[in-house]
Structure 1
Amino acid sequence: MRSLPSQPPRPISKASGGLFASTLALASVLLVLAGCASVPDATTTAPIDPASLASAQTLKGEAGAWPEQAWWQGFNDPQLNGLMDEAFANSPDMLAAGARLKKAQSFSNQVKAAMEPDASFNASIQETKQSLNMGFPPAFKDFLLDGYHPSTRITVEANYDLDLWGKSKAAVKGAAGQQKAAELEAVVVRQNLGVAIARAYVELNHLYETRDFLADLKHGADIKLELYQARADRHLEPQDTVLRARDEQAQVAGRIAAVDGAIAAQGHLIAALVGAGPDRALTLTRPNLAPADAFALPDDVHANLLGRRPDVLAARLRVEAQGQNIKYTQADYYPDVKLSAYFGLQAIGIPNLTNSGSDIGGIGPAFSLPLFHQKRLDAAYRSAEADYDLAVADYDTALTHALQDVADAANGTRTTLGQVTAAQARRDGAQDGYQLSSARFQRGLATKMDVLTAHANVVTADSALSDLKAQAYNDRISFIAALGGGYAPN
């Protein structure tokens, strides 16, 4: 049998009961006052539903494959591969994207840390003097210290936000969404840089081919001028024919000089894209690209395209993050409740800190509620809604442009393929004509001028075919970029 206590239980102190009652009363008052500031009705715009954008007929699967992450290796040019590696390591665009990602990560970590209990150690020592004219009775003044004395205080303080309305949780989710969006936007920067370098490299290859064709034309113009000059010297050709031939030769020479300048400028562009100085262009050799194979749409393009477009995914995350920002702003309409506590020592004089009775402490809730701030809260809430609508507009734009990019790339590939077929037929015809003229010349049935003219037709056809092949390379790059540039979500 349990023995009865020798003394009655210790009653709850009036101070403790008063604190509890006061807390309940204060909380009740704050909840009533919270009703004075009402949250406005939502006026945001919903994002476009991808299923509502009809594209199944345009984007039909063609048994194609999704591009690889290192898609440029398909051009089988080691120099191009090296330029890509150099750009991803040194380009200012990549450095800027990394800095933006680092900033987003730091902000996300900062917001997460704000949800944790806040604790601090504080210590102070001051020479203080108590006023003797504060209404104390004369007899009590004898107990007051006269003059300056070292007042010492050491405390550990802690605060914790209860987050009753989910404000901190919304901030964490929003910051996490912004961080993930920044990660995806860094992928977009990398893809755009790779596309820019590949296009510049294709153009450099095209310029070298153009120079070859112009060199052939220049050689023919030189021979033509010699023939006309020889005939004019024998009075078999008027002098104006020689002048026209010399002008033709000069025009071709001028075009060669222009292409040489364009090759140098293209090298400077590539050097800048990889984050190097213009001298880097001096080390570039002539490109050696593998033929541009035809690219086909994957069978699951309609179902999985948006999940492979990092720009669309990033825009969607921005929308979700701004949605959390609305929740964060909405929580400002309600009371902010925190728990605060401190414990420590306080005494006059450092040696007295360790004496009995020097301990101090306090614990209890703290409430905060803005009063008469309806207009300010409404303005902040509407501003958050506007940010959300802007994010929705960006997402809708990215979504529709993604579908357009694929449709345009597929259409461009088919169109260029048909043009290449026609240009190849014209080139074959020009080659047949040149061979026929050469054979007729060997039999004395055609002049040297006829052969030179037929050869010029071949060179012109080759140049037109080269233009279309360069377009085919660019179509392939556009196709790869439209399909997400090799991005595959985890």
Structure 2
Amino acid sequence: MTLPAPARRLWRPALTALAAALILAGCASSRGLSPEGRPLDADALHSERSLGAYAVSDAAFPKQDWWTALGDPQLDALIAQALAGTPSLDAADARVRQAIAQAGLADAARKATVGAGAQYAGVRVPETVAPEPLGGHYSGVELLTLSFKYSPDLWGGHRARWQAALGQARAAEVEAQAARLTLSANIARAYVSLAQAHAAQDVARAEQARAKQLLDLGRQRVKAGLDNQLQIRNAESSVASAEQQAQAAQQQIDATRNAIAALMGQGPDRGLSIAAPALLNAPVPQIPAVASSELLGHRPDVVAARWRVEAAAHGIDASKAEFYPTVNLSAMIGLASGGLSDLFTGDALLVQGGPAISLPIFDGGRLRNQLAKSDADFDLAVADYNQSLVGALRDVADALQSARSLDAQLVSAQRARDAAQSAWQLAAARYRGGLGTQLDVLSAQRPLLQLDQQIAALRAQRYAAAIELDRALGGGLSLTSPTSDISALTQSDLKASTP
């Protein structure tokens, strides 16, 4: 029905005011909601004094195959085999594919869709419902359609959802690289533990050989009437103690081999073929002379956390766009007829379409809660990012300071060991010459064993510090970081265009 001109003039202001009120009602409800998290500036986390003594050139970043610096081909082969595929890496790669597919779904939602359909429908209305000519007869309809649907991204919500999903996919890709770095570092650390266990076994066997020599000498002296059975029993105790320590070291070797095999995604039999490590000296620790922001840009966990902050920021934009009116365009063209003979005639043409506008007015608080959740997601992502920054700098500082301290401890321990070796040799010589007692030899032998074990443990810790530093510096990975300055997100993007 067409309204007369006076009626249209009367209703037009009322309809305009109603439309404005609806827009205001829908848009004003998001006010007062905003995220609280603030990303830290990496360069504001001062580390110059702690790391300055180690700074060198940019060439100091570790290579992607950083473990080759340890100089053990067997370790190189173990890590290469593990990186070829393990359950943990397969899971990380599956998460990447999952995130990429989710980003593809978000991208598809931004685009128009076109579909075709064919349908046949028939109905028979009973005469008890409708008399003839409608009732009592069966009628069928053939329908061929071509449909078009498109929702213009007027407020950027579709694009924001796609960018959020893309950021999550990029974070998953970086985390897959982080999984490889973690796996290689874990294998290298376990390999160092295996080297320490072999070194402990070598120490125990050397001690066992020394104790047996002392036992043989004691028996000779008892036979010659120079000593009594007490000296032999003391020597036998030393032999048994060294044998027990060798057995304990073998147990550690077996357990570490099993651990390495499990890290490689293999059964324990794979560990049986791992020979004693032949590690060279751990490389001298050094870091690049760059700012903290660039230093941490090589860390996969930090870069992944940055991508998640970026994704969460776009999630807020998408939630805000939900408060605005949405426009949907749809069209359908087709052919409909009661029989195939008339289906392709001009009279069978079917056309339907037009725009549809919708605006949320009362939704029970759904949109506000969705925006509040997006704000909280952003705050959580920022907190994770900030914690990653702090933890990354601590990892670097710990590894460097540990390496420096361990180097000094090794020098001191080696001096002590050299002195203990001289003391033991002197005591043994005096005992063989009848100038000393077996107690003197045992007393001199005890610190020598302890120092050998201590040096083996310190060397293992020194290797571990070198491995940890390579991991803390990003393991030589080349990562793509977000281009935006996340420290400005909450000040510009997240507070802009608040509905």
TM-score between both structures, scaled by the size of structure 1: 0.87
1:183 CA displacement:
0.7
Structure 1 residue corresponding to 2:453, chosen from 463, 471, 479? 463
Residue deviations 1:281-335 (CA, integer Å, cap 9, x gap): 1111111111112111221253521211111111111111111111111122122
8 Å contact kept, 2:309–2:381: yes
Q: Which residue is equivalent to 2:55?
A: 62
Select which of 71, 75, 81 maps to 1:80.
75
- Pair 1:409-2:399 in alignment: yes
Instruction: Tell me the secondary structure at the aligned position of residue 281 of structure 1.
Output: helix
The one-letter amino acid paired with 1:200 is: A
Partner in structure 1 of residue 423 of structure 2: 433
Partner secondary structure for residue 84 of structure 2: helix
8 Å CA contact 1:220–1:456 kept in 2: the answer is no
Extract unaligned runs of 5+ from structure 1. 1-13, 15-21
- 1:196 and 2:189 correspond: no
Q: Give 1:369 deviation, angstroms.
A: 2.4
**Aligned partner of 1:207: which letter?**
A
1:53 match: 45
Offset, 1:361: 0.9
Amino acid at match of 1:110: L
User: Contact 1:122/1:156 (CA < 8 Å) preserved in 2?
Assistant: yes
2:155 matched to which residue of 1?
A: 165
In the alignment, is the contact (CA less than 8 A) between 2:43 and 2:292 conserved in 1?
Answer: no
Alpha-carbon distance between aligned partners in 2 of 1:392 and 1:433, rounded to the nearest angstrom = 60
Aligned to 2:101: 106
For residue 24 of structure 2, the aligned residue among 24, 30, 35 is 35
Q: Of residues 206, 223, 226 in structure 2, which corresponds to 1:216? A: 206
User: Cα deviation per residue 1:68-92 (whole Å; 9 max; x = unaligned)?
Assistant: 1100011121111111111112221
Structure 2 vs 1, CA of residues 131 and 377 (structure 1 numbering), >3 Å: closer, same or farther?
Answer: farther
**1:389 alignment partner in structure 2:** 379
Task: Map 1:180-329 onto structure 2 (within 5 A).
Answer: 180-232=170-222, 236-300=226-290, 302-329=292-319
User: Once the two structures are superposed, what CA deviation does each residue of 1:40-84 show, in whole Å capped at 9, x if it has no partner?
Assistant: 321422212223322222221531511111000111211111111
Q: 1:27 to 1:258 in 2, by over 3 A?
A: farther
* Contact in 2 for aligned 1:149/1:349 (Cα 8 Å): no
Amino acid at match of 1:272: A
Determine if contact 1:107/1:175 at 8 Å carries over to the other structure.
yes
Quote the offset at 1:204 in angstroms. 0.5
Between 1:453-462 and 1:197-206, the stretch displaced more is 453-462
CA distance change for structure 1 residues 26 and 418 in 2, over 3 Å: closer, same or farther? Answer: farther
Note the C-alpha offset of 1:213. 0.6
Q: Secondary structure in 2 aligned to 1:155?
A: strand
Q: Secondary structure at the match of 1:357?
A: helix
CA offset digits 1:9-28 (Å, max 9, x no partner): xxxxx9xxxxxxx9xx9998
C-alpha change, 1:254 and 1:441, in structure 2 (3 Å) is closer
Decide whether aligned partners of structure 1 residues 130 and 364 sit closer, same or farther in structure 2, where only a CA change above 3 A counts.
farther
1:131 and 1:346 mapped to 2: Cα distance? 24
Residue deviations 1:211-242, cap 9 Å, x none? 01100111122233344445456665454444
Whole-Å Cα distance in 1 between the matches of residues 150 and 380 of structure 2?
34
Q: Distance in 1 between matches of 2:107 and 2:128?
A: 50
| Cα distance change on mapping 1:27 and 1:330 into 2, 3 Å | farther
> Does the 8 Å contact 1:59/1:302 carry over to 2?
no
Aligned-residue identity in percent? 36
Where does residue 5 of structure 1 map in the other structure? Answer: none
Tell me the secondary structure at the aligned position of residue 35 of structure 1.
helix
CA gap of 1:274–1:379, structure 2 versus 1, over 3 A, is same
Q: Equivalents in 1 of 2:16, 2:317: separation in Å? A: 22
DSSP-derived class of the 1:184 partner: helix
Change (3 A) 1:417 1:44: same
Q: Which amino acid counterpart does residue 56 of structure 1 have in structure 2?
A: E
Q: CA deviation at 1:278?
A: 0.4
The structural deviation recorded for 1:444 is 6.5
461-470 vs 432-441, which moves further? 432-441
Distance between the aligned counterparts of 2:413 and 2:341, measured in 1?
Answer: 99
CA distance in 2: counterparts of 1:445 and 1:345, whole angstroms: 119
The answer on whether the counterparts of 1:346 and 1:360 sit within 8 Å (CA) in structure 2 is yes
- Give the 3-state SS of the residue equivalent to 1:123 in structure 2: strand
Q: Secondary structure at the match of 2:289?
A: coil
Q: Does 1:330 align with 2:303?
A: no
8 A Cα contact 2:69 2:283, kept in partner:
no
- 1:4 is matched with none
- Counterpart residue type for residue 72 of structure 1: W
What is the CA–CA distance in structure 1 between the aligned matches of 2:291 and 2:397, rounded to whole Å?
Answer: 11
Cα distance in 2 between the residues matched to 1:372 and 1:303: 46
Contact 1:30 1:369 in 2 (8 A): no
Structure 1 equivalent of residue 88 of structure 2: 93
Match of 1:339 among 320, 329, 332: 329
Query: Given the two structures, how large is their TM-score scaled by the length of structure 2?
Result: 0.86
1:191/1:485 contact within 8 Å kept: yes
Q: Aligned to 1:489, what secondary structure does the other structure show?
A: coil
Structure 2 counterpart SS, 1:289: coil
Q: Which has the larger radius of gyration?
A: 1
Question: Partner letter of residue 398 of structure 1?
Answer: S
RMSD: 2.9
Moved more, 271-280 or 444-453: 444-453
Tell which deviates more after alignment, 282-291 or 269-278. 282-291
Residues 124 and 137 in structure 2, CA contact (< 8 A), matched pair in contact too: yes
SS in 1 for 2:55: coil
**1:81-135 Cα shifts (integer Å, max 9, x gaps):** 1111111122211111101111001111111111111111111102223688999
- Shift of residue 32, structure 1, vs aligned partner: 3.6
SS at match of 2:332: strand
Structure 2 equivalent of residue 379 of structure 1: 369
Which 5+ residue runs of structure 2 have no aligned equivalent? Answer: 3-10, 481-499
For the residues of structure 2 that align with 1:133 and 1:338, how far apart are their CA atoms? 42
For 2:464 and 2:373, the matched residues in 1 are separated by 43
